[in-house]
C-alpha cells in the first residue's frame, strides 16, 4: 500500500499527464519511496495493457526495480542488460542505459520511467534513447524520478522536462518518522589548493591530498568512538583510497570490505549479502552506493570523499536515513567538510526545474566546540577541533531590520512553495503579495511594497534597483486600471 503522501505524488503525476505534459520530473527525498511510486504507475500501465520501460544507469538499480515490481505487484519484467537473456515478450522491460543505447527499440513503449533522472542531459545517452523511443511512438510519456533534481553547478532541467511534481520535504518525512534524523559529527579539513575540474574537486589531486591530510587511522579511531559496531557504509575518493581504509579497519579487528564498479558481480553480491546480515560491519565503496542502495539497516555513513556536488552529498547521507526497528537516528561522520560546504541535508530546499534554492531563514547552521563552548561559522572551525566535541547548532544571525521583516519572509516563502508546486511564473508571488498590501492600505502603500520587492529581488538574485522598478510599474498599472 502506498502512503498518503505517495498517493498524492502519484495523483499529481497523473494530473500533469492529463493536462498535456508529456515529460514530467518527480522529486522525492532519498528513502521517500520513489521506486514504490513508479512501480505502482507501471502496475497501472501493465493492467491497462500498456508497454512500459524503466531506464536505469546501474545494475543494482535494474535489479532493484525488477524485484520491487515482482514482490509488491506480481509483475514480471524483461531485463535488457549485457550478459542477460532478454525476455522480449514481457510488457514491462527494465533496461541498462548503457546497453539500450546500443540496441534497436523493439517495442512501441507507452510509458518510460527514468530512474535517478538527474543524470539526464541534452545530448546524453538518455536523450539518444528518448529520441529513438519517440520515433516509434511520438505520444510516449516520460517520468523522471530523483531525490536531487539539480546539477553540480546548481542548474536544473528546464528544456528537458516540462513540469516538476514535488513530494514532501526531507524535514517533513523525518518529523513524521518516515526517515531517521541524522546525527552529525564533524572533523574540520583544509581543502585549499585542490583544483576544481568541471565544477568539482580534481579527483586525482583530491585523492592524493586527502590521504595526506586525513589518515585512515583517524577514520577508524573516530568510528570506534562515535559509531562503534554500527552497520556503516563509507565513501572514498578512489579505489586505492577505499582499499587503504578497509585494510586499516581490518587491522583493528573490524570486519570490513571494499566494493567498486570493477568488483566481480558474484563477489559484490556476496559482500552486500553479508553486510545485510551483519556479518560485515563496514563496507567502503567507490561509485556504487551513491544512489539506489536500499538497505534499511544501515546505521551510519562515513564521508571520506569531499565534493562540491550537493547531489552526491545528499545521496551519500541519504543511504542511512531509512528507518528500521531500534534505529533512533543515523550517524553521519563527516571527515570531508561536506556539512560546511552544503549545510545539513534536512534543511528546507525549494526544488524547481530551474534548479534549487535554499530556503531563507533567520537561522544559520553553526558549529559549537563543546569542550570550549566556542561557536564557529562553517568554514572557520579550527583544524585542531576534536570530532567528538563538535555539535551543530542554529543561531539567529540576521540584522534587526531583517528580523522585523520576518512576516514578509514567511508569507513570501509559503507562497513561493505553492507557486513552485503549481509551476506558476515567479512574478505571481510578487503580484499576490502586492495585491494584499494594496487592499489593506488603499492609496498609501508604496512604502509597504518596497520591502516585499526587495525580498523578491534578494530571493531571485536581481539587483536591488530592480525592486524600485517593480514597485513603480505596479503603481502605474493600478493607477491606470491595467
- Kindly report, residue by residue over 7-64, the tens digit of the pLDDT: 999 999 999 999 999 999 999 998 899 999 999 999 999 999 999 999 998 887 888 8
pLDDT per residue as tens digits for the range 111-130:
999 999 998 888 889 999 99
70 pLDDT above the threshold of 70:
yes
Most confident of 366-370, 399-403, 440-444: 366-370
Q: What's the chain's average pLDDT?
A: 88
The predicted pLDDT at position 45 comes to: 95
Q: What's the rounded Cα separation, in Å, for the pair 422 and 165?
A: 9
Percent of the chain with pLDDT over 90: 52
Nearby residues of 317 by Cβ (< 8 Å), 6 or more positions away: 182, 301, 303, 330, 332, 345
Angstrom distance (rounded) from CA 107 to CA 160:
23
The model's confidence at residue 480, banded by pLDDT at 50, 70 and 90, is low
Mean pLDDT of 278-295: 83
Kindly indicate the confidence band of residue 403, based on its pLDDT and cuts at 50, 70 and 90. very low
Q: Pick the closest to residue 236 from 378, 379, 333 (CA basis).
A: 333
Which is more confidently placed, 479 or 273? 273
Sign, CA dihedral 473-478-481-482, equals positive
Would you place residue 406 in the very low, low, confident or very high pLDDT band (cuts 50, 70, 90)? low
**For residues 128-151, average pLDDT:** 93
Identify which of 119-128, 139-148, 426-435 has the greatest average pLDDT.
139-148
Report whether 333 contacts 313 (CB < 8 A). Answer: no
Q: What is the pLDDT of residues 310-325, one digit of tens each?
A: 889 999 999 999 998 8
Among candidate residues 233, 381, 201, 205, the one with its CA nearest the CA of residue 309: 201
Distance CA 153, CA 307 (A): 12
What does the pLDDT look like over 451-474, one tens digit per residue? 888 888 888 878 777 888 888 888
pLDDT score, position 391? 86
pLDDT at 341 over 80: yes
Instruction: State residue 291's pLDDT score.
Output: 62
Q: What is the mean pLDDT of residues 367-382?
A: 86
For residue 405, pLDDT over 70 is answered with no
Whether 443 has a pLDDT exceeding 60, the answer reads no
Is beta strand 374-376 parallel, antiparallel or unpaired with respect to 363-369? antiparallel
Quote the pLDDT of residue 399.
45
Q: Are 352 and 164 in contact (CB under 8 A)?
A: yes
What share of the chain in percent tops pLDDT 70? 92
Amino acid at each position: 500500500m502506498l502512503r498518503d503522501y505517495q498517493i498524492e505524488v502519484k495523483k499529481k503525476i497523473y494530473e500533469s499527464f492529463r493536462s498535456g505534459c508529456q515529460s514530467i520530473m518527480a522529486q522525492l527525498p532519498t528513502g521517500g519511496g520513489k521506486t514504490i511510486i513508479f512501480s505502482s504507475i507501471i502496475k497501472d500501465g501493465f493492467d491497462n495493457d500498456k508497454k512500459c520501460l524503466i531506464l536505469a544507469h546501474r545494475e543494482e538499480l535494474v535489479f532493484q526495480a525488477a524485484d520491487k515490481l515482482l514482490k509488491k505487484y506480481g509483475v514480471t519484467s524483461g531485463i535488457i542488460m549485457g550478459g542477460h537473456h532478454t525476455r522480449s515478450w514481457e510488457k514491462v522491460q527494465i533496461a541498462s542505459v548503457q546497453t539500450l543505447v546500443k540496441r534497436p527499440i523493439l517495442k512501441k513503449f507507452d510509458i518510460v520511467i527514468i530512474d535517478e533522472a538527474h543524470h539526464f542531459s541534452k545530448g546524453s545517452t538518455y536523450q539518444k534513447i528518448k529520441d529513438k523511443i519517440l520515433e516509434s511512438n511520438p505520444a510516449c510519456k516520460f517520468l523522471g524520478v530523483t531525490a536531487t533534481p539539480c546539477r553540480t553547478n546548481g542548474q536544473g532541467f528546464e528544456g528537458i522536462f516540462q513540469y516538476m511534481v514535488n513530494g514532501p520535504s526531507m524535514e517533513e518525512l523525518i518529523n513524521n518518522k518516515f526517515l531517521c534524523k541524522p546525527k552529525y559529527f564533524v572533523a574540520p579539513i583544509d581543502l585549499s589548493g585542490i583544483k576544481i575540474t568541471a565544477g568539482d574537486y580534481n579527483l586525482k589531486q583530491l585523492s592524493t591530498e586527502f590521504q595526506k591530510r586525513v589518515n585512515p587511522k583517524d577514520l577508524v579511531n573516530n568510528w570506534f568512538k562515535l559509531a562503534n559496531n554500527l552497520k556503516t557504509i563509507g565513501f572514498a575518493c578512489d579505489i586505492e583510497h577505499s582499499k587503504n581504509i578497509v585494510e586499516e579497519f581490518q587491522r583493528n579487528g573490524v570486519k570490513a570490505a571494499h566494493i567498486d564498479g570493477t568488483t566481480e558481480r558474484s563477489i559484490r553480491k556476496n559482500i552486500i549479502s553479508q553486510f545485510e546480515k551483519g556479518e560485515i560491519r563496514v563496507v567502503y565503496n567507490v561509485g556504487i552506493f551513491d544512489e539506489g542502495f536500499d538497505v534499511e539497516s544501515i546505521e551510519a555513513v562515513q564521508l571520506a570523499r569531499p565534493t562540491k556536488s550537493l547531489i552526491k552529498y545528499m545521496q551519500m547521507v541519504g543511504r542511512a536515513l531509512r528507518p528500521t526497528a531500534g534505529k533512533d537516528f543515523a550517524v553521519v561522520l563527516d571527515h570531508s567538510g561536506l556539512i560546511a560546504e552544503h549545510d545539513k541535508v534536512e534543511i528546507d530546499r525549494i526544488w524547481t526545474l530551474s534548479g534549487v534554492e535554499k530556503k531563507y531563514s533567520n537561522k544559520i547552521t553553526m558549529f559549537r566546540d563543546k569542550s570550549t563552548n566556542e561557536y564557529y561559522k562553517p568554514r572557520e572551525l579550527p583544524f585542531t577541533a576534536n570530532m567528538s566535541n563538535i555539535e551543530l547548532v542554529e543561531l539567529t544571525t540576521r540584522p534587526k531590520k531583517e528580523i522585523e521583516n520576518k512576516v514578509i519572509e514567511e508569507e513570501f516563502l509559503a507562497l513561493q512553495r505553492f507557486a513552485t508546486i503549481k509551476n506558476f511564473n515567479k512574478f505571481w508571488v510578487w503580484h499576490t503579495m502586492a495585491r494584499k498590501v494594496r487592499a489593506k492600505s488603499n492609496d498609501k502603500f508604496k512604502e509597504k511594497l518596497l520591502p516585499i520587492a526587495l525580498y523578491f529581488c534578494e530571493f531571485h538574485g536581481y539587483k536591488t534597483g530592480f525592486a524600485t522598478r517593480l514597485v513603480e510599474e505596479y503603481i502605474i498599472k493600478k493607477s491606470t486600471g491595467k
